[in-house]
Amino acid sequence: MVEGVFVKLPSFPFLNPAVSPSSPNCRLGFRRFSASLSAVVKEGSVSLGHSTRPDFPILHQEVNGSKLVYLDNAATSQKPTAVLKALQNYYETYNSNVHRGIHYLSAKATDEYELARKKVAAFINASDSTEIVFTRNATEAINLVAYSWGLSNLRPGSEIILSIAEHHSAIVPWQTIAQKTGAILRFVSLDENEVPDVEELRGMISERTELVVVHHVSNVLGSVLPIEDIVIWAHAVGAKVLVDACQSVPHMVVDVQGLDADFLVASSHKMCGPTGVGFLFGKSNLLLDMPPFLGGGEMISDVFLDHSTYAEPPSRFEAGTPAIGEAIGLGAAIDYLSGIGMQKIHDYEMELANYLYEKLCSVPNIRIYGPKPSDNIHRAALCSFNVENIHPTDLATFLDQQHGVAIRSGHHCAQPLHRHLGVNASARASLHFYNTREDVDEFIRSLDDTVSFFNSFK
């Protein structure tokens, strides 16, 4: 594994002071430091993908005899050395249970854990870190809102508006809660651009609407929804908005105050952080009124045999020992991403998104789902597609076995969307800032070869 020094690009080209000059890391880091300096010098000629790749050891390997080309970032992202080191450092030097301990290690672990919470809050511009609840992942965060807020606020006839393009985690919990409370789920379909129909959504919002659940960026269509507008329409009728930001937080600037979202969820593992941790953002006044979701230690104030009283948020919603190291790892991931700058990441990925779409269009008999990029329509750097007469799983298998290209095939946890599109499954290539144009070129080359291969059997 490549040990590396985290070098912030491009305005803070200093070596990590934690690394001693005598360690071998320093020499490696210095090489990278000079590489990044030359990146500063030749700014614009070294892409973000090329300059960040050295930070991701996992990308430098061969699979099945070919160089790995990892294009499954919407499923999970890779982790930079800085995050790996943060995790290792936690377990090696100060692992301890948080919040109630008196001793030094416990105090340090608590400080770092709460610092990670502050980093998350700052990253999405929450007004206070008490608005961030650490969960296992975005799915658990949505379930938290469903069982805690949903059960106490939804009545028979209350309406929850969703789109047919939602991830299963944003649909299934609400189906359960709707059954329990008598609430009704209403689904917005796609418009002619293959994007959730925002006008239809606006029309559906009424006095009966209690909640709107929408994705920010679709993991299949690559489309981006106008969350600010949706929030304005929802708030006008007193409805709340839950934003699934799993595919947006890792790729662009997300400002919960700017969006005025009531709830927002994301997963660490999609934003260069470890698996096992995610978070829910909830406005303070909402969280204060919500009953606990899971019961146990940490979330209580006093426990008697016949009743208990509960802690204030966010602790109220963090039962049991949390994923301490992982939350700290998420904090390190946020540091890394902030060091690059989310706007810079977004701009680079936009370029890559357009390049991917354009090149994919050149594959014969291909059908790419979602909107065509234009001046007003921006796509995320992912494309779900099908090639006529070839099953996406066959494509993905051949791409992996013959070319070392990793894409995903299946329904991407969006069965209703696929049913609407009239297919059982699709293939999906999804990029992140450490991918390069060369990755896209290699993918297209391999895809062309794969398609010819399967067509030769017909």
Query: Given the rule CB under 8 A, which residues bind other proteins?
Result: 64-65, 390-391, 393-394, 397-398, 400-402, 409-410, 424-425, 453-454, 456-457
Q: Closest separation between CB of residue 414 and other proteins, Å?
A: 14
CA distance 109 to 91: 10
107 or 423: whose CB is closer to other proteins? 423
124 or 427: whose CB is closer to other proteins? 427
Q: Closest separation between CB of residue 146 and other proteins, Å?
A: 25
Q: Closest separation between CB of residue 267 and other proteins, Å?
A: 20
User: Token pair 């230690």 is at which residue?
Assistant: 297
Q: Specify the long-range contacts of residues 261-265, CB closer than 8 Å, at least 24 apart.
A: 261/227, 261/231, 262/231, 262/286, 263/145, 263/149, 264/124, 265/135, 265/138, 265/141, 265/142, 265/145
CA distances from 144 to 56, 149, 173, 180 (A): 33, 8, 9, 15
Q: Closest separation between CB of residue 409 and other proteins, Å?
A: 7
Q: Closest separation between CB of residue 397 and other proteins, Å?
A: 4
CA distance 254 to 257: 9
Element (H, E) at 240: strand 240-244
Q: Which residues contact 419 (CB under 8 A, 6 or more apart)?
A: none
CA distance 360 to 27: 41
Nearest to 409 by CA among 220, 144, 227: 220
CA distance 303 to 458: 69
Q: Closest separation between CB of residue 425 and other proteins, Å?
A: 7
Query: Is 432 within 8 Å of 349 (Cβ atoms)?
Result: yes
200 or 394: whose CB is closer to other proteins? 394
Q: Closest separation between CB of residue 405 and other proteins, Å?
A: 13
> Catalytic site residue 413?
yes
66 or 106: whose CB is closer to other proteins? 66
User: Token pair 């416990």 is at which residue?
Assistant: 106
CA distance 342 to 73: 16
34 or 64: whose CB is closer to other proteins? 64
Query: Is 392 within 8 Å of 386 (Cβ atoms)?
Result: yes
CB atoms within 10 A of CB 388: 10
391 or 420: whose CB is closer to other proteins? 391
CA distance 434 to 35: 16
Tokens (6 digits) for 455 = 């067509």
176 or 401: whose CB is closer to other proteins? 401
Q: Which of 26, 272, 361, 413 is catalytic?
A: 413
Give first-to-last CA distance, the chain, whole Å: 44
Nearest to 271 by CA among 217, 194, 210: 217
Residues marked active site are found at 413
